Amino acid sequence: MPWKECRKMDERLKFISRYLGGEKIAFLCREFGISRVTGHKIIGRYEEHGLDAFKELSRRPFRQANKLPFQLEKLIIALKKEKPHWGAMKIRDRLIKKYPNIRHPPANSTVHAVLDRNGLVNVRKRRNRNPMQGTALLPALEPNDLWCADYKGEFMLGNNQYCYPLTITDYTSRYLIACEGLETTREEYAITVFDKIFKEFGLPKAIRTDNGVPFSNPNALYGLSRLSVWWLRLGIKVERIEPGKPQQNGRHERMHLTLKREATKPAEENFLRQQAKFDSFQEEFNNERPHQALEMKYPAEVFKKNTRPYTGLPEITYPMHDMTIRITNCGRICIGKKKYHLSLCFAGHDVGVREVDDQLWLVSFMDYDIGYFDEDTCRVEPIENPFTYKV
């Protein structure tokens, strides 16, 4: 049997009809489950408005204590139309000076709300002028084809100093090449670690990282950093995963989970003791811990010695360019008395400059064309990112 539906209007109509039929209010109120006050209220509304009394009335209050008077709102809108480029603060000040008799002038936030409510606020869209983007991620089949690098999340030591572990692994063999506890993520500290590792293990063909510091710089040309430019100089290809997709470096992130559980909880008292713990973990991870992906072999059994030795930065020559120029420490190209801004990440490196049209110059770094400048501008205008898929 379906539920019997009833509406408030029908119930009120029944109540009034039975009241007009002579039934007592007390009995009707008990039967309909309402108070006598409500019953008398319904009867009074019926006697005043007739059948319209049975309709639902709006519950909106007749007045709002803090609502701005509509006359004042009209004045604010009129002032804004007079000065369309002024903001709420200036409009409020003009309102007070023009109409000094206003007893309670509205706040800046109230003026802004009035303007926004009437579509008089121009909201500028924020644009990410340097959106980071990943590069092509090439497959690695042999050890040293690809290394992965990242910082495991910082944690606090017992002496209240933060530790930033820089980790480097071989993609194919899962071999943990380095796990160094650092005080910061600054480039010079990372370069020192990589310099030491390159001398011991040689150079990989490519290194895969995320888009964070110091591997990338969102404010630099093409998102490059001094560290990544140094890798390019050494002939190492740079791979960057897409922002927000750590699974593209999943093998390395999985190692971080093991590192976190076994070597950071609890944290040691200072860097010396924590580094000893990292070294112990690295030895166990490479030589004692079998990996299912390696058919239960140890990473040290799969990892091979690199055949590319590290002998320092090779010289760069640009025989097809008009001139070779060394970028200054402030990231500029200096030709005579004129200076053209390039990027700080290229500071100290040589670039090739070639005139491709009348007073139009092409700037190249190694095998990559990175931008143009003319003699009237003060900076190099970048072209399409040459590192997105070629690096």
Q: pLDDT, tens digit, for every residue of 215-246?
A: 998 888 888 999 999 999 999 999 999 888 88
pLDDT-derived band at 203, boundaries 50, 70, 90: very high
Domain membership of residue 213 (yes or no) is yes
CA distances from 186 to 129, 169, 272 (A): 23, 20, 20
User: What pTM, to 2 d.p., does this model score?
Assistant: 0.67
Higher pLDDT, 306 or 296: 296
Mark whether 201 and 278 lie in a shared domain. yes
Q: What pLDDT sits at residue 391?
A: 41
Q: What is the CATH number of the domain that holds 268?
A: 3.30.420.10
Mark whether 40 and 110 lie in a shared domain. no
Instruction: Give the end of a domain, one of 117, 139, 156.
Output: 117
Burial of 163 (0-12, 13-18, 19+ CB in 10 A): buried
Mean pLDDT to the nearest integer, 177-187: 95
Mark whether 269 and 179 lie in a shared domain. yes
Mean pLDDT to the nearest integer, 21-37: 85
Mark whether 284 and 229 lie in a shared domain. yes
Mark whether 208 and 182 lie in a shared domain. yes
Mark whether 334 and 267 lie in a shared domain. no
pLDDT at 56 over 80: no
Higher pLDDT, 90 or 131: 90
Q: How far is CA 246 from the centre of its chain?
A: 14
Mark whether 161 and 297 lie in a shared domain. yes
Mark whether 162 and 208 lie in a shared domain. yes
- For residue 157, which phi and psi values (nearest 5 degrees)? -80, 175
Pick from 96, 118, 116: nearest CA to 106? 96
Mark whether 96 and 170 lie in a shared domain. no
Domain membership of residue 126 (yes or no) is no
Q: What pLDDT sits at residue 215?
A: 93
Q: Determine the structural domain holding residue 193 and report its residue range.
A: 147-302
- pLDDT tens digits along 328-365: 999 999 888 888 888 899 999 999 999 888 778 889 99
* Domain count along the chain: 4
pLDDT at 373 over 60: yes
Higher pLDDT, 327 or 45: 327
Rounded Cα distance, 193 and 182, in Å: 10
Q: What pLDDT sits at residue 67?
A: 73
Domain membership of residue 133 (yes or no) is no
Residue type, 17: S
Mark whether 153 and 292 lie in a shared domain. yes
Mark whether 42 and 83 lie in a shared domain. no
